[in-house]
Amino acid sequence: MKVEELNVEEVMGSVGSILSGQDKKRGVLIHAFQKIQEEYSYLPGDVLKELAKKLSLPLAEIYSVASFYKQFHFSPRGRKVVRVCTGTACHVRGAAKVLSALEKEFSIKDGETTADLAMTLETVGCVGCCGLAPVATVNEDVVGDIGKKKLHDLINSIKEE
């Protein structure tokens, strides 16, 4: 979404009539962040500057609100976002090995993205599939029971991307 396409009045109208104009603008921010991130996979600085201008809010406030939510990112994301679960069950069943194999294979650390934007590697707490530990998610998909073969397949599927 281009910032100029953001219909501030329409979104503000759905935020509620009790809020003041400034609070409504802040309410618009989350919606705008989601749309921008859908488009770019992260929140580019120049787009946030445009948004600050459009909403007449200080840029620092825009960053402050965005950084409060873990779902928003300030640097480009990989086409595949791999999250290795490090919850207790996965930890006990070898999550550290899965994480370290991925870090080694792609030469990145937890929280980083490969230079070719093929993959972002992250860790996450329990994803609710403890019976399948160790578990990782790849975008929206869950990969469970990660042994050598599945790890190998996962690595290849990212490389083939």
Residue 1 as a binder of ligand FES (CB under 6 A): the answer is no
Q: Output the six-digit token pair for 34.
A: 């989601």
Helix 8-15 and helix 21-40, axial crossing angle in degrees, nearest 10:
120
Question: At its nearest, how many Å lie between ligand FES and the CB of residue 86?
Answer: 7
Question: At its nearest, how many Å lie between ligand FES and the CB of residue 150?
Answer: 15
Residue 32 as a binder of ligand FES (CB under 6 A): the answer is no
Q: How far apart are CA 79 and CA 21, in angstroms?
A: 37
By beta-carbon proximity to ligand FES, the closer residue of 61 and 110 is: 110
Residue 135 as a binder of ligand FES (CB under 6 A): the answer is yes
Between strands 80-85 and 136-138, the pairing is: antiparallel
Between strands 141-143 and 136-138, the pairing is: antiparallel
Residue 88 as a binder of ligand FES (CB under 6 A): the answer is yes
According to CB under 6 A, which one of 15, 81, 89, 138 is a site residue for ligand FES?
Answer: 89
By beta-carbon proximity to ligand FES, the closer residue of 11 and 143 is: 143
**DSSP assignment of 44-106, as one string?**
-HHHHHHHHHHHT--HHHHHHHHHHSTT--SS---SEEEEEE-SHHHHHTTHHHHHHHHHHHH
According to CB under 6 A, which one of 32, 47, 85, 102 is a site residue for ligand FES?
Answer: 85
By beta-carbon proximity to ligand FES, the closer residue of 57 and 132 is: 132
Q: How far apart are CA 56 and CA 75, in angstroms?
A: 24
What is the contact surface with ligand FES in residues (CB under 6 A)? 85, 87-90, 126-130, 133, 135
